[in-house]
Structure 1
Amino acid sequence: MTSSVGRRILIKLCRSSLSPRIIATRFSSIAVEEDAKNVIPASQPGKIQAALLKDFSSSLVIENLEPPKNVQANEVLIDVHYCALNTSDALLSKNLYTFEPKLPTILGYEVVGKLVEIGTEAEKNGYKIGDQVVALNKEKYGGLAEKCLAEIGDIWKVPSVIDSIDAVSILDNYITALIALERKVSIDENDMILINVGISGISLAAIDLATNVYRAKVIGVCATEDGADLARKKGAFASLKYKDKKLLKQIKEIAAERDIQVIFDDVDGEYFKKVLDCFTDVYKDATLKDLLRDDNFAVVVHHLSREGRVIIAGTATTMTNAHSEVQQGSFSVTGFNLTEYRKKKPDEYRQAGDEVLQFLEEGLITPSCLLIVGLHKVNDALRFVYESKSPGKVVIDIRNKEADAVKVTK
């Protein structure tokens, strides 16, 4: 395990304004101790390299494995180029997620690569060997390997104009944000949306969609100054690091600039404060596990008496399950779980993926990728996901296995 001093240095470097070259060099030096303890075998012909989780809270182990075989009719085999690390990967590695995986297992469910084998149903659906695809493999995982299986319902062709790094960084967060926003509200340019980012990539995606697709006015509330900077880059007209004693005053001042005077007045205003607490309590009482969960994105609609409405979205602490709902007056609070939604409404799930890729192709949205690092340094990357408290993506380069960390500037 990397020393606590090394971990602090790593996090400080990735938050700094140092050049990508300097960060990559120092990231590599921090990984020396880890690499010394986990001897990485040389590649073997006919086998694939993968990062295995063998014991919870222990480092992933690089091993040579037999490639997946017996591709089913509704499956494809992907030659993986990149795999995004998500917060669920970090939680699963410590057995802190919503289910316990059977060990050993290969983490990683957001991948991009080329098809090397296709089932009969995949062929009927127009897929062919050599197609560049992105997969949202939330059922099978397996992305931290040179090859992985995916079902055709979970893959999308990647338009040639889309960069692979953007493709692998976008689907999970943006599909979740898009469906959650669309199923609860019809956003227009007159709406003010307060999005509690915390350290959630989903909430950052919601800012991107609300600002650049729906053209609404967004206030971002973030756990760190780095998160607030990312929110501003997405187009939020105001972005705040959470401060308990100042937040209500700051929101009221921003609302007043848009001629909204009654945001916290009367009974509805008092209830609005309570609902806001459902989101901002994550900064007071929630554990890091709560902050990293990907099934606690929620949407609140508050109708002001005379001057329009305010929408609140983002990470919330009150969601006990995907369909819990509390209503009072003009409010509704609903949690959202993409895995459950996929099972119940697969067509809408796929349509949302198509729309997200179209928005990306048209240049309307831009996913936030922080770091790209080779497969053999996956343990340092995984630790960064768990400890950095940043909503940006970390991507593993499966082909360039020895690659040092490169800080992405966009």
Structure 2
Amino acid sequence: MTSIGHRFFIKLCRNSLSSRIIATKFSNVAVEENAKNVAPVSQPGKIQAALLKDFSGSLVIENLESPKNVQANEVLIDVHYCALNTSDTLLSKNLYTFEPKLPIILGYEVVGKLVEVGTEAEKNGYKIGDKVIALNKERYGGLAEKCLAEIGDIWKVPSVINSVDAASTLDNYITALVALERKVSIDEDDMILINVGISGISLAAIDLATNVFRAKVIGVCATEDGADLARKKGAFASLKYKDKKLLKQIEEIAAERDIKAIFDDVDGEYFKKVLECFTNVYKDATLKDLLRDDNFAVVVHHLSREGRIIIAGTATTMTNSHSEAQKGSFSITGFNLTEYKKRKPDVYRQAGDEILQFLEEGLITPSCSLIVGLHKINDALQFISENKSPGKVVIDIRNKEADAVKVTK
């Protein structure tokens, strides 16, 4: 072999060795990454849960000790389903309104059966075996086989109600119901324009406004899929947001009900300013803003000679969810269910009772976009972040390995 050929052979061997070393490193990284995402085998006497341990990483499935020492005002729930809400997604990325202390089990909207009942809970009529839904908005812990909840945060679920429907309902619908009843006193003579964006709360508001209050609803949505869901809820008109066409489209729809004055001259400018407070969310807001669950807002009312138009739904983030931010000659009121519960717990409880009654009677139909097993939790988080669907994502806690199933309702 010539010296040139020898040097080429040595270089080739070195490059080949480097390639194998690099390939081995990549292979090891892939194995390590897969190992992190592989769920452990269940252990007797322990529960499985999805833990958020690092804001930059995925949720991790671990075997944990079951919650013990149930207090008098608490219950222990054997979790069947847990809704994965947008706040869970934001919390997992440390983008929410507060920073959670890690590690934490996310998930707060839970459906399951009681397996342990505190003495105070028992006095309030709860017993082992009851099917319940919990809104653990301050405690979380729902992405686990068992979780604790206080009696002020649980409701009995009638046996005729499907568990997935129950898991898809209470949080969004209580928020929408209280906002529509307490902030605008909506009735069947109203036309209400609801800016859906990608908000499940706004979709619930369409369902309630149309099928409970019998108002006429126009939906404005971020996507065609969202507009289709709004129509299925009963909106008599549903539009995908288009900046230059929206006002004209609304004017044409309103004309069918002889609502005209709000579009003329000064009134027209007034209505445009009101509308922009909601639709600006499409121009300026980030996904973080769109996914916030405390940016549901309502314009108290807008009167014209021919009728009343209410605007509600997703809006730019309110700095103080209970103060009225003045916008010219009108006010927009933000609404946050967690804060409202602290101020008016009785109204909060009553609203939950009413929503479950509406669901039992078939008046409302909650929207669920995806059902997936607990071990595929990170796929569900990605779905929320990327797909911008206003329907609920529900985690099947019992059927842990279940692949994602898209739901159309």
- Specify if TM > 0.5: yes
Please name the residue that 2:287 is paired with: 288
1:192 aligns with 2:191: yes
Corresponding residue of 1:161? 160
Tell me whether 177-186 or 314-323 shows the greater mean CA deviation.
314-323
Distance 1:33 1:212, change over 3 A: farther
State how 1:259-408 maps to structure 2 within 5 Å. 259-317=258-316, 319-327=318-326, 331-408=330-407
1:339-390 Cα shifts (integer Å, max 9, x gaps):
0001111110000000000000000000000111100000001111121111
Q: Is the 8 A contact 2:105 2:144 kept in 1?
A: yes
Q: Name the aligned partner's letter for residue 324 of structure 2.
A: E
TM-score of the superposed pair, with normalisation by structure 2: 0.90
Q: Does 1:170 align with 2:169?
A: yes
Matched residue SS, 1:248: helix
- The whole-number CA distance in structure 2 between the counterparts of 1:221 and 1:55 is 36
The letter for the 2-side match of 1:38 is N
The alignment covers a number of residue pairs equal to 379
Aligned counterpart, 1:76 = 75
Q: Distance in 2 between matches of 1:202 and 1:34?
A: 36
**Whole-angstrom CA distance in 2 between matches of 1:34 and 1:306:** 64
Match of 1:223, as an amino acid?
A
Code of the aligned partner of 1:389: K
Q: Which has the higher contact order (CA 8 A, sep 6+)?
A: 1
Contact 2:300 2:333 in 1 (8 A): no
1:59 corresponding residue in structure 2? 58
Check whether the contact 1:272–1:302 (CA below 8 A) recurs between aligned residues. no
| Residues 195 and 218 in structure 1, CA contact (< 8 A), matched pair in contact too | yes
State the distance in 1 between where 2:330 and 2:404 align: 45
CA distance in 2, matches of 1:112, 1:34: 32
| 5+ long unaligned stretches in structure 2 | 1-30
- 1:233 corresponding residue in structure 2: 232
Contact 2:184 2:301 in 1 (8 A): no
8 Å CA contact 1:50, 1:145 repeated in 2 = yes
Contact 2:259 2:304 in 1 (8 A): no
8 Å CA contact 1:197, 1:315 repeated in 2: yes
Matched-pair contact (CA < 8 Å) for 1:49–1:145: yes
Aligned AA (1:81): H
Q: Is the 8 A contact 1:252 1:263 kept in 2?
A: no
- Residue aligned with 1:403, SS: coil
Larger deviation: 323-332 or 119-128?
Answer: 323-332
8 Å CA contact 1:229, 1:239 repeated in 2: yes
Which structure 1 segments of 5+ residues have no match?
1-31
| Partner-residue secondary structure (3-state), 1:332 | strand
In the aligned structure 1, how far is the partner of 2:159 from the partner of 2:48?
27
Q: Is the contact made by 1:210 and 1:218 (CA closer than 8 Å) also made in structure 2?
A: yes
**1:377 maps to amino acid:** K
TM-score (normalizing by structure 1): 0.90
Judge conservation of contact 1:301–1:310 (CA < 8 Å) in 2.
no
Q: Tell me how far 1:326 sits from its aligned partner.
A: 3.2
Aligned partners of 1:90 and 1:385 also within 8 Å? yes
Q: Tell me, in whole angstroms, the C-alpha distance in 2 between the residues paired with 1:183 and 1:52.
A: 37
Q: Distance in 2 between matches of 1:80 and 1:288?
A: 30
8 Å Cα contact 1:203-1:315 kept in structure 2: yes
1:88/1:294 contact within 8 Å kept: yes
Give yes or no for contact 2:89–2:385 (8 Å, CA) kept in 1.
yes
Instruction: Spell out the pairing of 1:13-162 with structure 2 (5 A cutoff).
Output: 37-162=36-161
TM-superposed CA distance for 1:331, in Å, is: 3.0
Counterpart amino acid of 1:358?
Answer: Q
Matched residue of 1:135: which SS? strand
Distance 1:114 1:276 in 2: 44
> CA 1:236 to 1:50, structure 2 compared with 1: closer, same or farther past 3 Å?
same
In structure 2, C-alpha distance between the alignment counterparts of 1:398 and 1:97, rounded to whole Å? 24
Give the whole-Å Cα distance in 1 for the aligned partners of 2:263 and 2:301. Answer: 11
Matched-pair contact (CA < 8 Å) for 1:303–1:330: no
Contact 2:76 2:115 (8 Å CA) reproduced? yes
Alignment partner, residue 19 of structure 1:
none
**Counterpart in the other structure of 2:16:** none
Return the offset for 1:312.
Answer: 0.2
SS of match in other structure, 1:263: helix
Say whether residues 1:244 and 2:243 are aligned partners.
yes
The SS at the match of 1:50 is strand
- What is the CA deviation profile of residues 244-300 of structure 1, one whole-angstrom value per residue up to 9, with x for unaligned ones? 000000000000111111122243432221121110001000000000000010111
Partners of 1:69 and 1:345 in 2: how far apart?
A: 30
Q: Distance in 1 between matches of 2:286 and 2:148?
A: 34
CA deviations on 1:25-75 (whole Å, 9 max, x unpaired) are xxxxxxx99756522110000000000000003100000000111111111
1:223 CA displacement = 0.3
Contact conserved, 2:83 with 2:110, CA < 8 A, in 1?
Answer: yes
Q: Distance in 2 between matches of 1:84 and 1:399?
A: 13
Closer, same or farther: CA 80–268 of 1 in aligned 2, 3 Å: same
CA distance in 2, matches of 1:254, 1:62: 50
**Residue 184 (structure 1) shift:** 1.3
Give, in angstroms, the shift of residue 185 of structure 1: 1.6
Kept in 2: contact 1:255–1:263 (CA 8 A)? no
The answer (yes or no) to whether the contact 2:76–2:146 under 8 Å persists in 1 is yes
